[in-house]
């Protein structure tokens, strides 16, 4: 019974985490492409829309708000996945090759959770600060340009971390595909 509970929680959290990460990747692409095509104008930000900066600023505002919600779900899911991966040592078969897979599951889960935590608590706040600094000093190029460059770098880093998270979660899914309860004999037919 404990094995089924651990597995249910583990797979529910892993699928939620993976689905949320993929959703954010797809949403970011759609939001930024749509806004670039629509060319919105934000008169409270800049008097002119140079190089479609209004679309970038509006897209980042949408994504930051979306990530506030999805980020919380991802952090809770990450915690459940890490706990579930650790609990596999007590309820699942971790002998022989299964031990290697179990260790890899724990490592992948911890690294993926670390990436999500770093993005959520370090990169996202810095991205928001750089965005706000750019907006606040839009008419002062000496301040706005470095803030815009930092904003662009952090936005690219955020997307890179998201891609890394998805790749780590794919690895986690692959190394979770053959989890069996402790004491279960596996045959070549399985």
pTM, rounded to two decimals: 0.87
Give the whole-angstrom CA distance, residue 106 versus residue 108: 6
Task: Give the least confident one: 51-55, 111-115, 157-161.
Answer: 51-55
Task: Give the least confident one: 103-112, 116-125, 176-185.
Answer: 176-185
Domain ranges of the chain: 2-174
């Amino acid at each position: 019974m404990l094995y089924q509970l651990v597995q249910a929680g583990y797979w529910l959290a892993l699928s939620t985490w993976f689905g949320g990460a993929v959703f954010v990747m797809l949403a970011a692409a759609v939001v930024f492409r749509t806004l670039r095509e629509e060319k919105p104008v934000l008169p409270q930000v800049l008097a002119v829309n140079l190089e479609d900066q209004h679309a970038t600023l509006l897209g980042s505002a949408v994504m930051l708000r979306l990530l506030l919600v999805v980020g919380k779900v991802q952090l809770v899911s990450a915690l459940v996945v890490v706990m579930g991966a650790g609990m596999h040592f007590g309820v699942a078969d971790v002998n022989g090759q299964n031990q290697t897979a179990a260790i890899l599951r724990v490592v992948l889960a911890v690294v993926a959770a670390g990436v999500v935590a770093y993005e959520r608590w370090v990169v996202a706040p810095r991205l928001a600060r750089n965005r706000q600094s750019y907006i606040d000093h839009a008419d002062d190029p000496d301040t706005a340009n470095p803030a815009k460059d930092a904003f662009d770098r952090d936005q690219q880093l955020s997307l890179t971390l998201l891609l890394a998270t998805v790749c780590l979660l794919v690895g986690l899914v692959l190394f979770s595909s053959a989890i069996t309860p402790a004491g279960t004999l596996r045959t070549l037919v399985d």
